[in-house]
Amino acid sequence: MPGCDKPAFAGDLDHVHEYDHDNPAAGGQTTAVGLATKCRMHHQMKTDGVFLDDQYIDATGKARQVFYTQNGATIHGYAESGDDLFPTLRDITFTDPEPPPKPPPPQPNTPESPTRRRPRLADTHARRRQERERNRKALEATGEQEARRAVEDRPPF
Ligand SMILES: [Zn+2]
């Protein structure tokens, strides 16, 4: 988290995209690009919706993080890779995992039936997925170069 001074080894591994306990293949992936370290406080703040984050692979194959605050600020940065301590980690190129299989359509009179109200947490996760998708499209529209410039122009935190 930008500005956080807690050591990563004492933090939580957070699924950047929320893990889907009902359908693990469709939720946040437990992969290098699907996980980010956050201290307990910042992890809880994310869970409470104080900010939204996203993590993706850029054109150079490096993991990027983006934080969206409630007051409209967008903070770009590279995901913590540890390559400053272990330079050979730079040789690793991350790739996106295979897309998850589509779940079967809901059957009538089952818990997945459209007549049953979706749990509030599932609504929250769906809203965050939509928000990340919208942010990614906006990022693509403004261009990766602009995002990269934002990373290079900011002071280290
Ligand atoms: Zn923190």
How far is residue 17's CA from residue 125's CA, in Å, rounded to a whole number? 8
Sequence-ordered list of residues with C-beta below 8 angstroms from that of 7, at least 6 positions apart, any chain: none
The structure's pTM equals 0.68
Rounded to the nearest angstrom, the distance between the alpha carbon of 152 and the centre of ligand 1 is 22
pLDDT value, residue 10: 94
Q: Pairing state of beta strands 12-15 and 74-78?
A: unpaired
How far is residue 14's CA from residue 96's CA, in Å, rounded to a whole number? 17
Rounded to the nearest angstrom, the distance between the alpha carbon of 103 and the centre of ligand 1 is 35
Rounded to the nearest angstrom, the distance between the alpha carbon of 107 and the centre of ligand 1 is 43
pLDDT value, residue 37: 92
Rounded to the nearest angstrom, the distance between the alpha carbon of 52 and the centre of ligand 1 is 14
* Contact indicator for 26, 103 with CB cutoff of 8 Å: yes
Rounded to the nearest angstrom, the distance between the alpha carbon of 6 and the centre of ligand 1 is 6
Rounded to the nearest angstrom, the distance between the alpha carbon of 8 and the centre of ligand 1 is 9
10 by DSSP, 3-state: which?
Answer: helix
Rounded to the nearest angstrom, the distance between the alpha carbon of 146 and the centre of ligand 1 is 26
- Per-residue tokens: 26: 């469709």
How far is residue 134's CA from residue 68's CA, in Å, rounded to a whole number? 12
How far is residue 110's CA from residue 88's CA, in Å, rounded to a whole number? 51
Per-10-residue mean pLDDT of the chain, 157 residues long, equals 89 90 76 89 94 88 88 87 82 71 67 66 87 88 67 55
Rounded to the nearest angstrom, the distance between the alpha carbon of 41 and the centre of ligand 1 is 6
